[in-house]
Chain A
Amino acid sequence: MPSLDNIFGIHATALKLREQRMAILGSNIANASTPGYKARDIEFPQALQLAESGQSPEAAMRYRVPVQPSLDGNTVELATEQTAFAANALAYRSSLSFLQGRIGTLSRALKGE
């Protein structure tokens, strides 16, 4: 029988990481016109592994390699960041629906419907 902590499986950790990544990508978009700002992102699969084993996911943080760096040293490329942000939001939503499904299953089992 699974312990109560494992009911949500990987999705609880994933949701938290997706929220962190959303903030990082949001920071990149916020700094799109700051001279010298270096865009960052987390390597999601590695961050998830680290978080699952109880380590800090910050070790999976990487600087973005720009396609074409600008003269003021800023490495934010809006197209890249916006697509990454959209994909991340979609992944967040899918984690949410997995959680929703699990909660639904559990509550149906508890009510005995």
Chain B
Amino acid sequence: MANGMSIFEISGRAMAAQLVRMNTSASNLANAGTVSGSEDTAFRAMKPVFRTVMGEAGRATVQVDRIDTSTAKPVKRHDPNHPLADQDGNIWEAAVDSTAEMVEMLEISRQYQNNVQVLATAKGLISETLRLGQ
């Protein structure tokens, strides 16, 4: 464990990255269905991009490189009675695919659990090693 990253750092940082992903997914879902008076101000889904951080001897952890905004276009809907409608009577719905976000959340949760499991196993083995000879 002397060389660079410990397994706690590897899994810990991966958990932090998954949590950022969970937060963006949650704000996407929270903003699904919101409407706006123009295409520019309409909400667009966000998505974090992960990057590997290389360590020594095959060790690597992950960090959030940037948060990209989806290229999907907000959906234009004609609703002249809406208070936010522009002079042509159009409103724009947030560009969020709720089904995709729900699936994403499921995947995030599973991957977070995997990292927790790695940490728990490593912790157990290290404490067993500490008790060696007792």
Q: Is residue B60 contacting chain A, with contact meaning CB distance below 8 A?
A: yes
Inter-subunit contact B118/A31 (CB<8 Å): no
Inter-subunit contact A85/B57 (CB<8 Å): no
Inter-subunit contact B128/A27 (CB<8 Å): no
CA distance A24 to B4 in the complex (A): 12
Q: Which residue on B lies nearest to A106, using beta carbons?
A: B133
- Our pick among A20, A30, A96 for the contact of B128 (Cβ within 8 Å) is A96
Inter-subunit contact B62/A30 (CB<8 Å): yes
Inter-subunit contact B128/A93 (CB<8 Å): yes
CA distance A89 to B120 in the complex (A): 11
Q: Is residue B82 contacting chain A, with contact meaning CB distance below 8 A?
A: no
Inter-subunit contact A29/B57 (CB<8 Å): no
What bracket does the count of chain A residues touching chain B fall in?
A: 20 to 34
Q: Which residues of B contact A32 (CB under 8 A)?
A: 111, 114
- Our pick among B18, B52, B121 for the contact of A85 (Cβ within 8 Å) is B121
Q: Which residues of B contact A96 (CB under 8 A)?
A: 125, 128-129, 132
Please provide the chain B residues from 78 to 121 with a CB less than 8 Å away from any CB of chain A in the complex: 107, 111, 114-115, 118, 121
Using a CB–CB distance below 8 Å, which chain B residues touch chain A?
1, 5-7, 10-11, 13-14, 18, 21, 49-52, 55, 57-62, 107, 111, 114-115, 118, 121-122, 125, 128-129, 132-133
4 closest residue pairs by CB, A with B: A30-B14, A24-B58, A27-B60, A34-B50
